[in-house]
Amino acid sequence: MKTLLRHFVLLASLAAAAFAQTPPPAADGTKVLFQEIFATPDSLTTWRPSIGTLTQDGPPATPGALKISAETAAGSVFVGRKLDVTAFAGRAVVISARIKAAGLSTPPKPYNGIKIQLNILKPDGKRDYPQATIAYSPELPWTEVSFKRTIPAGSTELSLRVGLEKVTGSLWITDIKITAAP
């Protein structure tokens, strides 16, 4: 009886853990494959390097945000995390996030500035860096940005990077989602 009870407790805890890691469906019913809202300090443990700070400055109905600041425009300030490529390979996905910016300097090129970017190692061994197109503005209120991309079947690595490239200023980001494209 004790063995049966232990097995039941083990199965129940495994089911609870699996359920807790599965994001709920998006409001429009599309399948959410990944989501990060930066609600607790634990949410930073999978992002590297640990350069951002958690704030309670998130938009309404969001518990928190990650703040990334750059004091010099000479380089880039990013955080990133690896994603399970098998969950995404061969699928069209939409990457979205809610962002806010303050005090941004003018980027040297149109593709510099705020970055929400994938890093894909394709089957041919070449890398692809698709990213959201975000028009420059020195101040940006809470705004939702998104872009669509198909992750090639057979891709071997996938990661997500967010941050600032070749600009000074601050970026707040929350509610990062990757959903199956409709």
104-146 tens-digit pLDDT? 999 999 999 999 999 999 999 999 999 999 999 999 999 999 9
**Better-predicted residue by pLDDT, 86 or 64:** 86
Pair 165, 76: CB distance under 8 Å: yes
Name the helix (H) or strand (E) containing 7.
Answer: helix 2-21
pLDDT at 53: 75
Q: What is the mean pLDDT of residues 148-170?
A: 97
Q: Which of 151, 156, 172, 160 is nearest to 68 (CA)?
A: 172
For residue 8, the model assigns a pLDDT of 33
CA distance 117 to 123: 19
Provide φ and ψ at 138, rounded to 5°: -65, -30
Position 105 scores a pLDDT of 97
pLDDT of residue 2: 41
Give the position of tokens 């300030």: 77
Rounded CA separation 172/144 (Å) = 12
H-helix or E-strand spanning residue 63: none
Each residue's pLDDT tens digit, 22-77: 455 545 557 999 999 988 888 888 888 867 776 776 777 777 899 999 999 988 99
Q: How confident is the model at residue 182 (pLDDT cuts 50, 70, 90)?
A: confident
- Residue 20's pLDDT is 36
Q: What is the pLDDT of residue 27?
A: 53
pLDDT of residue 84: 96
Domains in the chain: boundaries: 29-180
Q: What pLDDT does residue 157 have?
A: 97
> What letter would DSSP give residue 138?
S
pLDDT at 67: 92
Q: Check residues 161 and 5 and name the one with the higher pLDDT.
A: 161
> 144: which strand partners?
98
Chain centroid, CA 34 distance in Å = 8
CATH topology of domain 29-180: Jelly Rolls (2.60.120)
Q: How far is CA 136 from CA 33, 113, 133, in A?
A: 29, 7, 9
What is the structure's pLDDT at 64? 85
Task: Please give the C-alpha separations between residue 41 and each of 45, 52, 107, 160, in angstroms, as whole numbers.
Answer: 8, 11, 31, 19
Average pLDDT on 79-96 reads 96
Helix, strand, coil shares, percent, the chain, to 5: 15, 40, 45
Q: Which of 86, 98, 93 is nearest to 150 (CA)?
A: 93
